[in-house]
Amino acid sequence: MLILGLNAYHGDSSACIVRDGEILAAAEEERFRRIKHWAGFPSEAIRYCLQEAGASLAQVDIVAVNSDPRASILKKIKFTLRQRPDLRFIADRLRNQVKRQSIEAELSAAFPDSPFKGEVRRVEHHLSHLASAFLVSPFRQACVASIDGFGDFSSAAWGLGHERTIDVDDKVHFPHSLGVFYQALTQYLGFPEYGDEYKVMGLAPYGRPELLSAMRQIVKLQESGRFELETGFFRHHREKIDYAWAGGRPHVGTLFSPALEELLGPARKKDEPLEQRHLDIARSVQAMYEEAFFHLINHLYEQHRVDSLALAGGCAMNSVANGKLLRQSPFRRLYVQSAAGDAGGAIGAAIYAWHKMAPTRATDRHLGAPASSVLTGDSLNGRRVMDHAYLGPSARDEEIAALLDERNDELRDSGCEVQHIAEEVRLCQTTADAISRGEVIGWFQGRMEWGPRALGNRSIVCDPRRADMKDILNRKIKRRESFRPFAPSVLKEHVAQWFEESGDVPFMMQVYNIREEKRARIPAVTHVDGSGRLQTVYRQTNQRYWNLIDAFREITGVPMVLNTSFNENEPIVCRPVEALDCFTRTKMDVLVLGNWLISRAS
């Protein structure tokens, strides 16, 4: 059975393809369109997935979509009758529903020579999120939670996953949303772009939670783990907000009302300097989110007394809160998928559809979970564990060679030297030596990562020991806010020696405290509060990246590298040509494209 999963008509549009329960490929549309968080119908991601599966659209049995317009219909009617929102608000919502109904028409337009003969299955938004976390997790049984902005009239859902089923206990419905709270306060702080919430998360450690009492006027904790917004501080429930989802960069209009400025003072404009007041608000926003988050998940634990948690939704990208979960809650094990946000709903919808259709199997296969995983060797009842994110396009050595031959004159004229190093050990040693000298390396290998994090295949890697490396990166390539941290990729075998917490963090979704005595040795990846957003690297899931870091360890005694995404104010590079273009237009020192090493003249 071949199932195509889609996240469509929303930010981070994406597609995946599943054959008999195994994820063959997954990618976000932005990587092909080269527009961040691209919203609309993911036709190019679908095209890639079909190519990777060696199939045509006509051979697809099911298209599973992570949205069901029929979900919560009575709640929608009741809200409309009670609140009587602006008629433009209602018309806008109806137009969105019509778009979401047109999957067959979109497929026909994108693939006119291969008519779709299968069935469209719609999976409610939060059920897709829950499935994207639990049904690919290494847990036989776990509590599950999805927290985000909105999807199908809900902003959160939680319950219990067991074997191949998910039972939802409860939901939080429109207009209440922790995702909207965080997004609105992100806009208030002068970060207006879709997806800017991570900037507030990075800014928060510079401030103090002086305004937490004000935040508690905005978000009210309720019984049974629930929360509500004080709606007077927001506009999204009564006015037409400017949403742009139709093919391009997503945009969300101002979510907060004038009442928020009366409470907190004037909002910061995008280019205004950051003052201590803004730092304190950022810290207070993060503190309020964590208060509501732990309120919900602690209730979830009390309901089921199961100490494993699978977490999804856009708010599951809050790696700071995730990193505190095992120390500040009764949960002992955590799984967060690499594309926890809306993109991941494509996998959730597809995997959920598979488990609803497929018979129970006596044996199971999985993608090879790390030896330290919670897998016990017992049957997971037909489920595959997703322990790596390398599901995107790759490039053959011949393709890279042809590109370099085509651009040979340009590279020669700019003083670049090109080497082909077929032996992996020597390639990694040569690259590690350049890192140890303080050079900035573009590292393009294997299949592109699924999700927003560069995890060692589309990464820029540097020396974490250099106190000036943040400034070097921002000056040479990234050109981003100075307060934003860079992450360490650490050999799994050495995590406990360098971090106060240790565990499996393959997708860079948890921030942990670096041991105090180690912080001075790795200042480039140590945030102002002594933390680092950890990625644990395993030999069995990415041998070449593991070998690179191990070669750096042999030279320096430090079993990690600084890892940041391979891009320059654009989506992460997907194809070799984008990597080469990024290298040539920035001041990167070395580019490693597969087995090819391109270095600038010193």
The domain segmentation of the chain, as residue ranges, is 2-122+340-357, 397-600
- Fold for 397-600, please state it: DHBP synthase (3.90.870)
| Residues comprising the chain, all counted | 602
Whether 311 shows a pLDDT value over 60: the answer reads: yes
Q: Please, which pLDDT band fits residue 195 given cuts at 50, 70 and 90?
A: very high
Whether 224 shows a pLDDT value over 80: the answer reads: yes
Tell me if 333 sits within 8 A of 309, measured CB to CB: yes
pLDDT confidence of residue 368: 35
Alpha-carbon dihedral of residues 25, 458, 187, 199, nearest 10 degrees? 130
Mean pLDDT check: name the lowest of 170-184, 353-367, 475-489: 353-367
Whether 94 shows a pLDDT value over 90: the answer reads: no
- For 363, residues 6+ apart whose C-beta sits below 8 A from its C-beta are 379, 382
* Local structure of residue 268 (DSSP, 8 states): P
- For 358, residues 6+ apart whose C-beta sits below 8 A from its C-beta are 1, 20, 21, 382
Whether 429 shows a pLDDT value over 90: the answer reads: yes
Greater model confidence, 474 or 466: 466
Mean pLDDT of the 471-489 span? 89
Does the fold of domain 397-600 match that of domain 2-122+340-357? no
Mean pLDDT of the 116-140 span? 97
Q: Please, which pLDDT band fits residue 417 given cuts at 50, 70 and 90?
A: very high
Tell me if 388 sits within 8 A of 541, measured CB to CB: yes
Tell me how far apart the alpha carbons of residues 207 and 277 are, in angstroms, rounded to a whole number: 8
Tell me how far apart the alpha carbons of residues 550 and 546 are, in angstroms, rounded to a whole number: 6
Tell me if 452 sits within 8 A of 535, measured CB to CB: no
Name residue 247's beta-bridge partners. Answer: none
CATH class of the 2-122+340-357 domain in this structure = alpha beta
pLDDT confidence of residue 478: 80
How buried is 521 (Cβ within 10 angstroms: 0-12 exposed, 13-18 middle, 19+ buried)?
Answer: middle
pLDDT confidence of residue 475: 83
Mean pLDDT of the 334-340 span? 98
Tell me if 9 sits within 8 A of 95, measured CB to CB: no
Q: Please, which pLDDT band fits residue 453 given cuts at 50, 70 and 90?
A: very high
Whether 335 shows a pLDDT value over 70: the answer reads: yes
pLDDT confidence of residue 369: 35
Mean pLDDT check: name the lowest of 266-270, 272-276, 318-322, 369-373: 369-373
Mean pLDDT for the chain overall: 92
Percent of the chain with pLDDT over 90: 84
Mean pLDDT of the 396-409 span? 96
